[in-house]
């Protein structure tokens, strides 16, 4: 029976790593999967898929008209899937004006990948080629979106990300679809245990050896080496390399005290919930 | 009282419509396609293809757009439209001239590709590619340099008596987003908005329109790829077929026409008669001027076959 397993995350939180891991796990050749041909099932904001399956040119529709059809699009994909489809999504878990959730619960569950927002800020700033201050502002904006400027065409559909905290909370507190939360830091520090749980949640039947092998093939250095050799088509223009450092706690080398306190001020509640801050108000990682 | 009817020519067809379609060229003569208001049933009886808002069967097509209209296309000669309450005519026409006409042209057994085309030295050159790849902007820029427009967005192709593919002129309008229109030096205030709700406009190309079908000689498929340099790759036979399938407008509508083998015959004829190349670039790194220079050189080069 097919279903959608959403790979949901705020940007720069480990989504690509998880997709590379799953691709290697699902690959039957035993060879390293090319990062430019991952085996997972695309992204929720894919415009071409929307146009093909609805029969309408999304470029002639308003963003709200498009959103109104997205729940049916995802139900259609879930219904048509004969296997588990792993679909990346950066949209927050939001509701349409008529009360329907953007992401329907029919044959669907989600793995939510979360990362210390202090590290996200640094990584996101490199990714979008914008200053740390501007990135921290974007992460604090309640109505932050991707692909929403109305005067031009966007390759992807609009994605409402909301603020970093709201993004996290929208997914992990939703009561409509089952969510399994994984932290980037645990993917790094306890890979076998963390990835194994995600695999079990997805319903894939794999043994430890297969998981270890896929982890090895999707290790950060390997992904980085692939990018250096042949490029990565998901790398935004003007960014030096997509796979940059891939470490935890890198924010300590990049953020000023003032920048750290701005992040904490906005996101402290969610950070506590996710144990990025301990009882004594120390930042972990 | 006899209601006024409107008669136009578009895609090589004489069309009679119950309402005004200012995008088309006014015409006269015996209509072969009728656009009518009427009741549209919400489902087809036996659809072969069913999407989220469309259904298609042999000679039948249905599209339902919430808040706009239901469209029913039958036998390649009739389009029935049931507007929703409070629907705006602009909104109805946008989708009529897009997916709905594509379905009609598929029913007419034309090959429908996704692209904009111009005439160069009496031959049709098509710029194809997915939405947003820059087809309309490039065609508009070339029209401003004196080349005649054949089609924008929807390109209908038929094989002539001797099996040579010909591009049939669509209608003399180009769709442009605000940023592209400005890039082309247009004053937004003077352009007709596509829909009141979108920052997208119709550029009138009546003075730069080709009214006659012309044999097709080249296809350029535009690819926007992050970090790519501007480059052209000339394709060989198998890759040509693959690209022609990918660039078929609404492939799923066509499949229901039982026309898969007919479609394959058409794309094989196109692959045989037409040079096909891929132009790859990063839209963020390449200027319109750079791609124009490349294209003008390309389209005026005659290839040895």
Q: Do A150 and B199 count as a contact with CB atoms less than 8 A apart?
A: yes
For residue range A100-141, what is the model confidence (pLDDT) as tens digits? Answer: 999 999 999 999 999 999 999 999 999 999 999 999 999 999
**Which residue in A has a C-alpha nearest to residue B54's C-alpha?**
A55
Residues of B in Cβ contact (< 8 Å) with A237? 226-227, 282, 284-285
Q: Do A60 and B253 count as a contact with CB atoms less than 8 A apart?
A: no
Using the Cβ of B241 and the Cβ atoms of chain A, whether some distance falls under 8 Å is answered with: no
Using the Cβ of B253 and the Cβ atoms of chain A, whether some distance falls under 8 Å is answered with: yes
Residues B7, A162: Cα–Cα separation, whole Å = 50
What's the start-to-end Cα distance of chain A, in Å? Answer: 40
β-pair type (A179-183, B165-168):
unpaired
Residues B113, A98: Cα–Cα separation, whole Å = 37
Q: Please state the CATH superfamily assignment of the domain spanning residues A3-116+141-236 in this structure.
A: P-loop containing nucleotide triphosphate hydrolases (3.40.50.300)
User: Average pLDDT for residues A45-52, to the nearest whole number?
Assistant: 96
pLDDT at B261: 84
* Nearest-CB residue to A55 (from B53, B132, B195): B53
Number of inter-chain CB pairs under 8 A, A vs B: 90
CB B305 within 8 A of CB B273: no
Residues of A in Cβ contact (< 8 Å) with B198? 60, 62, 150
Q: Please state the CATH superfamily assignment of the domain spanning residues B111-299 in this structure.
A: P-loop containing nucleotide triphosphate hydrolases (3.40.50.300)
Provide the residue ranges of all domains of chain B, joining segments of one domain with +. Answer: 6-107, 111-299
Average pLDDT, chain A: 96
pLDDT at B273: 94
**Which residue in A has a C-alpha nearest to residue B98's C-alpha?**
A57
Q: Do A55 and B179 count as a contact with CB atoms less than 8 A apart?
A: no
Residues B204, A27: Cα–Cα separation, whole Å = 51
If one compares A30 and B172, the residue with the highest pLDDT of the two is B172
Residues A32, A21: Cα–Cα separation, whole Å = 10
Q: How far is CA A205 from CA A27, A171, A179, A212, in A?
A: 14, 25, 19, 14
Using the Cβ of B51 and the Cβ atoms of chain A, whether some distance falls under 8 Å is answered with: yes
DSSP secondary structure string, B26-82?
E--S--SEEEEE----SS-SS-SEE-SSEEEETTEEEEEETTTEEEEEETTTEEEEE
Residue B202: alpha-carbon gap to chain centroid: 14
pLDDT at B305: 60
CA distance B3 to chain A (A): 31
User: Average pLDDT for residues A205-211, to the nearest whole number?
Assistant: 95
Angle at A16 between CA A10 and CA A22, to 5 degrees: 120
For residue range A58-71, what is the model confidence (pLDDT) as tens digits? Answer: 999 999 999 999 99
* Nearest-CB residue to A235 (from B66, B226, B284): B226
Q: Do A59 and B131 count as a contact with CB atoms less than 8 A apart?
A: yes
**Residue position matching structure tokens 């352009």:** B191
What is the mean pLDDT of each successive set of 10 residues along chain B, which is 305 residues long? 87 98 97 98 94 94 97 97 96 97 95 97 96 95 97 97 96 97 96 95 96 96 93 92 94 76 91 96 93 94 71
pLDDT band at A239 (very low <50, low <70, confident <90, very high): confident
Percentage, residues of chain A above pLDDT 90 = 94
Residues of B in Cβ contact (< 8 Å) with A76? 51-52
Q: Do A154 and B179 count as a contact with CB atoms less than 8 A apart?
A: no
Structure tokens at A148: 């929403």
Residue A191: alpha-carbon gap to chain centroid: 18
Residues of B in Cβ contact (< 8 Å) with A69? 52-53
DSSP secondary structure string, A21-47?
HHHHHH-SS-SPPPGGG-SS--BTTBH
For residue range A181-198, what is the model confidence (pLDDT) as tens digits? Answer: 999 999 999 999 999 999
Query: What is the ipTM metric for this complex?
Result: 0.94
* Nearest-CB residue to A53 (from B52, B132, B180): B52
Q: Do B65 and A69 count as a contact with CB atoms less than 8 A apart?
A: no
CB A81 within 8 A of CB A2: yes
Least trusted range by pLDDT, from A8-12, A84-88, B258-262: B258-262
Residue A159 parent element (H or E):
strand A159-160
Q: Where are the alpha helices (DSSP H) in chain A?
A: 15-26, 47-54, 63-80, 117-127, 132-140, 164-172, 184-189, 191-202, 208-217, 220-230, 257-273
Q: Do A51 and B194 count as a contact with CB atoms less than 8 A apart?
A: no
For residue range A243-261, what is the model confidence (pLDDT) as tens digits? Answer: 998 899 999 999 999 999 9
Interface test with chain B among A36, A46, A55, A62, by most B beta carbons within 10 Å: A55
Q: Which residues of B105-143 are buried (b: 16+ CB within 10 A; e: fewer)?
A: bbbbebbbbbbbbbbbeebbbbbbbbbbbbbbbbbbbbb
């Amino acid at each position: 029976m097919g279903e959608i397993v959403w790979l949901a995350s705020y940007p720069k939180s480990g989504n690509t790593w998880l997709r590379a891991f799953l691709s290697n796990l699902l690959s039957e050749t035993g060879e390293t999967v090319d990062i430019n041909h991952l085996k997972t099932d695309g992204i929720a904001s894919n415009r071409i898929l929307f146009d093909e399956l609805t029969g309408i040119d999304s470029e002639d529709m308003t963003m709200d008209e498009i959103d109104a059809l997205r729940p049916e699009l995802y139900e259609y994909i879930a219904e048509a899937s004969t296997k588990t489809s792993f679909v990346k999504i950066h949209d927050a878990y939001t509701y349409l004006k008529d009360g329907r959730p953007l992401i329907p619960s029919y044959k669907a569950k989600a793995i939510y990948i979360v990362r210390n927002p202090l590290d996200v800020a640094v990584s996101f700033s490199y990714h979008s080629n914008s200053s740390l201050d501007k990135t921290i502002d974007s992460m604090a904006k309640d109505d932050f979106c991707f692909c929403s400027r109305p005067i031009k065409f966007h390759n992807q559909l609009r994605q409402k990300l909301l603020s970093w905290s709201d993004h996290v909370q929208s997914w992990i507190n939703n009561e409509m679809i089952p969510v399994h939360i994984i932290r980037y830091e645990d993917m790094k520090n306890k890979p076998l245990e963390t990835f194994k749980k995600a695999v079990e949640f997805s319903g894939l039947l794999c043994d430890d050896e297969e998981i270890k092998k896929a982890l090895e093939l999707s290790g950060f250095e390997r992904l980085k080496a692939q990018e250096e050799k042949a490029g990565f088509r998901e790398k935004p223009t003007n960014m030096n390399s997509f796979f940059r450092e891939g470490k935890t706690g890198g924010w300590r080398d990049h953020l000023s005290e003032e920048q750290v306190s701005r992040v904490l001020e906005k996101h402290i509640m969610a950070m506590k919930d996710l144990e990025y801050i301990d009882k004594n108000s120390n930042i972990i990682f | 009282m006899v209601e006024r009817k409107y008669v136009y020519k578009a895609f090589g067809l004489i069309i009679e419509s119950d309402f005004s379609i200012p995008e088309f060229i006014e015409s006269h003569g015996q209509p072969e396609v009728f656009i009518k208001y009427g009741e549209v049933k919400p489902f087809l009886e036996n659809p072969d293809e069913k999407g989220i808002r469309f259904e298609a069967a042999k000679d039948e097509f249905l599209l339902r757009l919430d808040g706009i209209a239901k469209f029913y296309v039958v036998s390649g000669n009739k389009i029935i439209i049931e507007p929703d309450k409070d629907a705006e005519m602009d909104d109805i026409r946008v989708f009529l001239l897009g997916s709905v006409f594509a379905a009609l042209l598929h029913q007419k057994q034309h090959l429908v590709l996704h692209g904009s085309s111009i005439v160069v030295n009496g031959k049709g050159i098509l710029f194809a590619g997915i939405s947003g790849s820059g087809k309309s902007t490039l065609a508009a820029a070339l029209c401003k340099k004196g080349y005649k427009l054949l089609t924008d967005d929807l390109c209908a192709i038929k094989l002539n008596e001797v099996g040579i593919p010909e591009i049939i002129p669509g209608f003399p309008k180009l769709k442009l987003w605000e940023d592209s229109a400005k890039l082309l030096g247009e004053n937004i205030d003077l352009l007709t908005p596509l829909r009141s709700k979108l920052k997208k406009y119709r550029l009138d190309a009546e003075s730069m329109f080709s009214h006659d079908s012309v044999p097709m000689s080249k296809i350029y498929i535009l690819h926007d790829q992050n970090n790519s340099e501007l480059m052209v790759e000339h394709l060989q036979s198998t890759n040509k077929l693959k690209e022609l399938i990918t660039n078929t407008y609404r492939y799923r509508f066509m499949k229901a026409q039982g026309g898969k083998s007919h479609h394959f015959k058409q794309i094989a004829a196109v692959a045989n008669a037409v040079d096909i190349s891929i132009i790859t670039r990063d839209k963020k790194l390449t200027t319109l001027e750079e791609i124009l220079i490349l294209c003008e050189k390309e389209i005026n080069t005659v290839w040895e076959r």
